[in-house]
Amino acid sequence: MRKRTGKLLSAVLAVSLVMSLGLGSWNVSAEAETAEAVTEAVSEAEMAAEADAAGGAVSFTPGTYEATAQGFGGDIVVSVTVSENEITAVDITGDKETPTLGGIAVAELGEKMVAAQTPNVDGVSGASVSSGAIIAAATEALEAAGADIAALDANRKDTSAEPVEKTEETLTTDIVIAGAGGAGMTAAIKATQAGKSVILLEKMSYAGGNTTKATGGMNAAETHYQAEQGIEDSVEQFVEDTMEGGHQINDIDLVTTMAENSAAGIDWLDEIGAPLPKVSFSGGATNARIHSPEDGSGVGEYLVEAFTKQLDNLGIEIMYNTKATELIQEDGAVVGLKAESDTTNYTIEAKAVILATGGFGANEEMYTQYRPDLKGTVTTNAPGATGDGIVMAQAVGADLVDIEQIQLHPTVEQTTSMLITEGVRGDGAILVNQSGERFINEMETRDVVSAAELEQEGCYAYVIFDQHLRDNLKAIEKYVTNGLTVQADTYAGLAEQINVDPDTFTKTMVAWNSAVANQKDEAFGRDTGMENPLSTAPYYAIKIAPGIHHTMGGVKINTKAEVINTDGNVIPGLFAAGEVTGGVHGGNRIGGNAVADIVVFGGIAADSAIAYCGE
Among 103, 110, 146, 209, binds ligand ADP (CB under 6 A): 209
CB 348 within 8 A of CB 336: yes
What secondary structure letter does DSSP report for 407? E
# of chain residues touching ligand ADP (CB under 6 A)? 28
Residues belonging to the chain: 615
**Residue (544 or 598) nearer to ligand ADP, CB:** 598
Among 358, 428, 529, 582, binds ligand ADP (CB under 6 A): 358
Is residue 202 close enough to count as binding ligand ADP by CB under 6 A? yes
User: What burial letters (b/e) apply to 34-61, b meaning 16+ CB within 10 Å?
Assistant: bbebbbebbbbbbebbeeeeeebebbbb
**Residue (209 or 246) nearer to ligand ADP, CB:** 209
CA 351 to centroid of chain Cα atoms: 32
- List the beta bridge partners of residue 167: 344
**Residue (42 or 334) nearer to ligand ADP, CB:** 334
**Residue (478 or 585) nearer to ligand ADP, CB:** 585
The gap between the terminal CA atoms of the chain, to the nearest Å, is 79
Which range, of 11-19, 168-176, 270-278, 350-358, touches ligand ADP by CB under 6 A?
A: 350-358
Among 68, 79, 210, 256, binds ligand ADP (CB under 6 A): 210
**Minimum CB distance to ligand ADP, residue 345 (Å):** 14
**Residue (43 or 125) nearer to ligand ADP, CB:** 125
Q: What is the torsional sign of CA 356, 614, 261, 192?
A: negative
**Minimum CB distance to ligand ADP, residue 438 (Å):** 33
Which range, of 93-101, 182-190, 443-451, 512-520, touches ligand ADP by CB under 6 A?
A: 182-190
Is residue 183 close enough to count as binding ligand ADP by CB under 6 A? yes
Spatial separation of the C-alpha atoms in residues 544 and 421, rounded to whole Å: 11
**Residue (141 or 178) nearer to ligand ADP, CB:** 178
Spatial separation of the C-alpha atoms in residues 502 and 42, rounded to whole Å: 45
User: Which 581-600 positions form the footprint of ligand ADP (CB under 6 A)?
Assistant: 598
The contact mask relative to ligand ADP for 135-174 (x = CB under 6 A, - = no) is: ----------------------------------------
**Residue (183 or 316) nearer to ligand ADP, CB:** 183
CB 301 within 8 A of CB 183: no
Is residue 356 close enough to count as binding ligand ADP by CB under 6 A? yes
Q: State which H helix or E strand residue 272 sits in.
A: none
In the chain, what's the furthest Cα-to-Cα distance?
A: 82
Check if 446 is active-site. Answer: yes
Is residue 549 close enough to count as binding ligand ADP by CB under 6 A? no
The contact mask relative to ligand ADP for 369-408 (x = CB under 6 A, - = no) is: -------------x-xx--x--------------------
- The residue at minimum Cβ distance from ligand ADP is 181
Which range, of 167-175, 203-211, 238-246, 545-553, touches ligand ADP by CB under 6 A?
A: 203-211
Among 150, 274, 324, 557, binds ligand ADP (CB under 6 A): 324
Q: What is the torsional sign of CA 108, 109, 111, 115?
A: positive
**Residue (126 or 423) nearer to ligand ADP, CB:** 126
**Of the residues 425, 438, 446, 526, which is catalytic?**
446
Spatial separation of the C-alpha atoms in residues 252 and 243, rounded to whole Å: 7
Query: HEC string of 143-211?
Result: HHCCCCHHHHHHCCCCCCCCCCCCEEEEEEEEEEEECCCHHHHHHHHHHHHCCCCEEEECCCCCCCHHH
Among 179, 428, 586, 587, binds ligand ADP (CB under 6 A): 179
Among 92, 201, 401, 563, binds ligand ADP (CB under 6 A): 201
Show the DSSP H helices in 222-282 as ranges: 224-228, 235-245, 252-260, 262-271
CA-to-CA separations, 213 to 72, 150, 182, 273, in angstroms, rounded: 13, 36, 11, 20
- Residue 522, class by beta-carbon neighbours within 10 Å (0-12 exposed, 13-18 middle, 19+ buried)? exposed
Hey, is 482 helix, strand or coil?
coil
CB 361 within 8 A of CB 549: yes
Among 579, 590, 603, 610, binds ligand ADP (CB under 6 A): 579
CA-to-CA separations, 350 to 197, 347, 508, 608, in angstroms, rounded: 10, 10, 61, 14
Is residue 305 close enough to count as binding ligand ADP by CB under 6 A? no
Among 278, 323, 438, 526, binds ligand ADP (CB under 6 A): 323
**Residue (9 or 272) nearer to ligand ADP, CB:** 272
Which range, of 57-65, 208-216, 255-263, 496-504, touches ligand ADP by CB under 6 A?
A: 208-216
Name the site residues for ligand ADP (rule: CB under 6 A). Answer: 178-184, 201-204, 208-211, 323-324, 356-358, 382, 384-385, 388, 578-580, 598
Enzyme catalytic residues: 446
